[in-house]
Structure 1
């Protein structure tokens, strides 16, 4: 079978295709015919050698993928041949709190999904909703669960409260969609004015183009009375304005701590000393969280936003397209 692997780290030329023997599932394992995969920011960081968790040399990349079970090993109880499945980002994190013993990730320390087939422990996988195409189903593992976890954490926003999303990447658009399902009002900030109509069509109640209004924080605060929850994916470029936009007791879920150049988020003391905003972090989520999110997706028949689909043979082009940054939704790679 054909599979991609990272023979080294540093640039796109290190992403190579190789022929390997078809794996056979051992005890408690399932063999998945991969029908589609998708990219996340962490995948470009792993490729470039800038990801905080050290990847394994020779790793099969990508945490996000969807396919059907074609064989099962002895002792498998959770799945049968023909089941539609996706993998869980932190493969060993079933529930509860994260700890160092369960940090292994698909596509980083464990082989991921960018191949014709993927061999997974049955505990690493979850079932997919039936209404999703393969391309759609391949988008939820990282960005979808991150957005879901941001909205369903310690303090869930109430219907009518304001949620702020930044940009038009996978996490931002999933957060917009999930927030609307929860009855929240959504403000969106985009660097491209031409994306405003698309964000409004997805349900955003208010859209601001930062290129036209660079100091958008106070404008948002005045228009909304203060943002209750910020899903902060912009990092150093947007954090100050997110803090200004927040209501007195607002919450900011800080997902991007550094930009591509290595610049880190800084807390502006003059702004923060006038605020009681809670700033929190999260790491994607557990398998139980993924199952809960997909149950909501199935109930509401929610569809993700796909930016562009690439053939399996053009995985490098998919990486390049994703890395240039001007995407609206998820970048998907077809199965082989």
Structure 2
């Protein structure tokens, strides 16, 4: 039975009101997208694709995000005068794109630079602060191992004005925390850890993502008992989110050094998504952590029950692709760091 216009928009609003991303929500929006395309209604198509972007981003389906963003960006630029109410919502998605494009070694540097130029121009054109742009340039530099750029953009980010498109305070503090661990400035990280773990500032993903970042630093400082507690508490928040590969890899590395048998369960929960290749950056760190776990199991006299030969080959290939794209040897050095654990 054909939907009326009211039924169509009621269904779209019902799906969009679901806060939790799910494959069911995605399927529902795809059904509405099919109807919109069949009718040739480009505005309906834009609305559905926008909803799909908001959903697939939290499901780890990044290729889908890229494809829908390209279509929506073209439609948005062609119809800006009629989409004023969408500006902030659409500009927010630039941040998701910036987060994930960097993690794809197949995205050439020229294309990456062009996207970040568009990011800067779009925010500037509509009069928004460039704080998110600087923040994501900073995060990009961390992922590509460009320490000087990370330092420069860190200060530009924090100096820029906060407005409605800035990340929430909790997410910004999380980014600062990760930077201080990158630079080894643990004394600067300490008050931020305390703030986030106290939940004085929090959001839908913080402090969920904070715990895994503390595990190895705490282990290195001899605070193993505290780290064990954080591992248990922190993994509870991500165990049913298979695409959280970076966080899962951090749990695996810590367990490899402390309770390697427990690391196998974490590996098993996330390996299917890692093997899918949807997140090469996360895949690299997950496979390298699995290699560490495999070695520690053997050293403890256990039979691992999984092989790492293919993982090692794939991780080496990914590292080579990233370093070729980024023009440095950061991922090669990351491999050496893992093998030294």
TM-score (norm 1): 0.27
Structure with the higher fraction of residues in strand conformation: 1
TM-score (norm 2): 0.27
**Greater relative CO (CA pairs within 8 A, separation 6+):** 1
Answer with 1 or 2: which has the greater Rg.
2
Structure with the higher fraction of residues in helix conformation: 2
